[in-house]
Amino acid sequence: MIDKNIDQLKRLKLRKNAEMRLKVYGILSISLALIMLATLMISIGLSGYSALQQAYVKLEINVDSKKILDEKGGFSNQKALLVNWDGIVSNSFITNFPEITKRSEKRSLRALMSSNAGYELRQYFQKNPDDLDENITIWLSASDDFDQYMKGRFNTSVDEKDRRLSNQQLKWIDFLAMEKISKLKFNTSFFVNADSREPESAGILGAVVGSTLTLTITILFALPLAVMASVYLEYFAKPGRLTDFIEVNINNLAAIPSIVFGLLGLSVFLGFFGLPRSAPLVGGLCLGLMTIPTIIIASRASIRAVPPSIKDAALALGASRMQAALHHVLPLAAPGILTGTIIGMAQALGETAPLLMIGMVAFIIETPDSFTSAATAMPVQIFMWSDSAERAFYERSSLAILFLVGFLIIMNSLAVFLRRKFEKKW
Amino acid sequence: MVDKKNNLKFKTKNVSVFYGSKQAINKISLDIEEKQITALIGPSGCGKSTFLRCLNRMNDVISNCSVNGKILLDGNNIYSDEIDPVLLRAKVGMVFQKPNPFPKSIFENIAYGPRIHGIGNNRAELTDLVHHSLEQAGLIDEVKDRLDDIATGLSGGQQQRICIARAIAVNPDVILMDEPCSALDPIATAKIEELMSSLSKSYTIIIVTHSMQQAGRVSQKTAFFHMGDLIEYGETPKIFTQPDQQKTQDYITGRFG
């Protein structure tokens, strides 16, 4: 047995207590962070889940094929342009209420259908021209206020004249819902459409594709440049004033407000090179410039963390510096470089400021199909929706945030997977 | 004509090395004979490793290191502009203190050197070369069935012999060894020492060691360094039994160092 005097025991106890306290602090701070994260995700989830559904109205419609088909029996865009699709929709809709005859009442009844319902009908016949001349039953979008009321998100306690729906309109909606003429169904348009002025037709796909295209350019541009720069700085640059100057400035670049990169992109890529505005190509280059310093700093750290004995071994065998770097050091540094890249990319994914300057903060209704077509990005889409007056955009921006977070999780899991794959056992 | 039976491999004249303004070794002139083992001994920080790293220009890698004086390999100054350090290092291989195999397969470790120098163009030639190198390093029986296993999974002694086999594979004239056994247990050390003796029939070996017993066991010639100076250089038995210098006497009898 080791002899312990009182003094030693006291100190031992103090030390144990201190250790205990530190442990408790650690657990507390981690739990606090987790609680905050959970609160955030739950509140966004609660306000966003309802956007997964959308109010649709069942209509019986019969459209004369002569008005739409050309001589060969194909769908004629020219003829379809002349058809009053909105009229067809509202006429069919009004038949649900034969008792209504007054013009003003008819107008407020028509307002319950989405102003894009006519377009949806046209799209349907474009896809299914065989259904012309037939009596068909089709579900078309209701207006966003209709939708919000059905989801219980419409505040009826407000004075009638300050509301977007009158008591009469609310009664009609109740009637339609009771008769199962209108229903909440899965909101496909959110997943297949780009932006729209009407919340019921607005979708996230355009922004997801825009972000994907932009980040593709970012990684293709930033990763090779940053890795080459860090290999040069670690292996070839002679230490001296110039190298110090470059190093200091790379660190400074990492701290520059991102909007400055947007200004740079505006003057260089748009002004000097004349690249198209709002294009993922330009957005990707701007975000790439912003990401390069982050990747350089991470890459240099992980290159430096490779034991110098590996480099020495390669050099002693007669490998050139380049061969030592490419064959031995870079593969070992790859996991670290990848982590840095993902951090940089995640930063770029959430960035809106540089995109502001090059016109990617814009209302774009087409899903982009190339690197030079007009596009927007996910954070921009969220920002624009949350800025809109319509209540129905509120739930859509929450759902879009969940999408953005999901995108990030996918990117991070990919990084973890690649890390595991490249990591070498020692 | 030189009056010794052995040819000179290295001839160094007034070699001084500076790290920045700090002088590491001072005017070393030392001739090293072919196909023999030469040991460099001395206390820590005496400059023996620095001198060794001059012989294949590994000091070039250290940014503020400058080398003065002349080092001739087979009569050619290795610090002249015509000599490419990359080709020099293929002639003068090196084994380090800590075993440092690449974290790749055993085969890839040995094959890397030949591959970058264009020796062994096809797979069969390369395989032969790898087997031959492992055989010379006395390792073939231990690893021939697991050439695709990762080299860093071997024991320390085996790893060091992999490093020796890797150095042999590019067919050098000289092998420099920088305390190759200091991280190994006595049995692994004995194996490496045995290996050195057999290799010295075909290669010139220069070894830096902290262990005077090791120097005494394996080397034909020994140089004693102290504080950056070459104190004494001569036949190993003579250095260990009747050194000319008092400092050498003090060191080998364990009075300092």
Could you read off the pLDDT of A84-103 as tens digits, one per residue? 898 999 889 988 888 888 88
B25-78 pLDDT per residue, tens:
888 898 998 889 999 998 888 888 899 999 988 888 787 888 888 898 888 888
Nearest by CB to residue B102, choosing from A310, A323, A425, is A310
CB A125 within 8 A of CB A75: yes
Query: Measured between alpha carbons, how far apart are the two ends of chain A, in Å?
Result: 41
Q: Residue A354: in which H helix or E strand, if any?
A: helix A353-357
Q: Which residues of chain A have pLDDT under 50?
A: 426
User: Does the pLDDT value for residue B3 go beyond 50?
Assistant: no
Using the beta-carbon criterion (under 8 Å), do B63 and A239 form an inter-chain contact? yes
Determine the residue of chain A that is closest to B171 in CA distance.
A317
How high is the pLDDT of residue A425? 54
Residue B30 per-residue DSSP state: E
Nearest-Cα distance to chain A for B1, in Å, is: 33
Using the beta-carbon criterion (under 8 Å), do A318 and B112 form an inter-chain contact? no
Determine the residue of chain A that is closest to B177 in CA distance.
A316
| Domain range annotation of chain A | 55-185, 205-422
Nearest by CB to residue A328, choosing from B93, B102, B150, is B102
Q: What residues of chain A, 230 to 269, have a C-beta less than 8 Å from chain B?
A: 238-239
Nearest-Cα distance to chain B for A49, in Å, is: 49
Nearest-Cα distance to chain B for A328, in Å, is: 7
Nearest to B36 by CA among B212, B201, B251, B183: B201
> What's phi and psi for B64, nearest 5 deg?
-100, 25
Residues in chain A within 8 Å Cβ distance of B98: 309
Ordered domains of chain B (ranges, CATH): 8-252 (3.40.50.300)
User: Does the pLDDT value for residue B1 go beyond 60?
Assistant: no
Using the beta-carbon criterion (under 8 Å), do B102 and A317 form an inter-chain contact? no
Residues 6+ apart with CB under 8 A from A356: A259, A262
Residues in chain A within 8 Å Cβ distance of B153: 425
Determine the residue of chain B that is closest to A319 in CA distance.
B86
How high is the pLDDT of residue B257? 61
The CB density around residue A293, as the number of other CB atoms within 10 Å, is: 21
Determine the residue of chain B that is closest to A313 in CA distance.
B100
B200-245 pLDDT per residue, tens:
989 999 999 988 889 999 999 999 998 889 999 999 999 988 888 8
What residues does B223 pair with on adjacent strands?
A: B40, B233
Nearest-Cα distance to chain A for B116, in Å, is: 7
Take residue B153 and report the two structure tokens written for it: 């999974």
CA A380/CA A386 separation, integer angstroms: 10
Using the beta-carbon criterion (under 8 Å), do B98 and A309 form an inter-chain contact? yes
pLDDT bracket for residue B95 (50, 70, 90): very high
Nearest-Cα distance to chain A for B114, in Å, is: 9
How high is the pLDDT of residue B2? 43
> What's phi and psi for A153, nearest 5 deg?
-105, 10
Please check whether residue A309 touches B, CB under 8 A: yes
Residues in chain B within 8 Å Cβ distance of A314: 102, 112
CA B159/CA A347 separation, integer angstroms: 43
Mutate to test the interface with A, among B83, B89, B92, B149 (most CBs of A within 10 A): B89
Nearest to B61 by CA among B104, B31, B96, B36: B96
Using the beta-carbon criterion (under 8 Å), do A312 and B98 form an inter-chain contact? no
Nearest by CB to residue A318, choosing from B63, B90, B152, is B90
Q: Is the CATH number of domain A205-422 1.10.3720.10?
A: yes
Output the CA–CA distances (angstroms, integers) from residue A64 to A125, A136, A403, in the order listed: 11, 12, 42
CA B202/CA A104 separation, integer angstroms: 108
Burial of A121 (0-12, 13-18, 19+ CB in 10 A): buried
Q: What's the number of CA atoms in the CB half-sphere (13 Å) around residue A87?
A: 5
Model pTM above 0.95: no
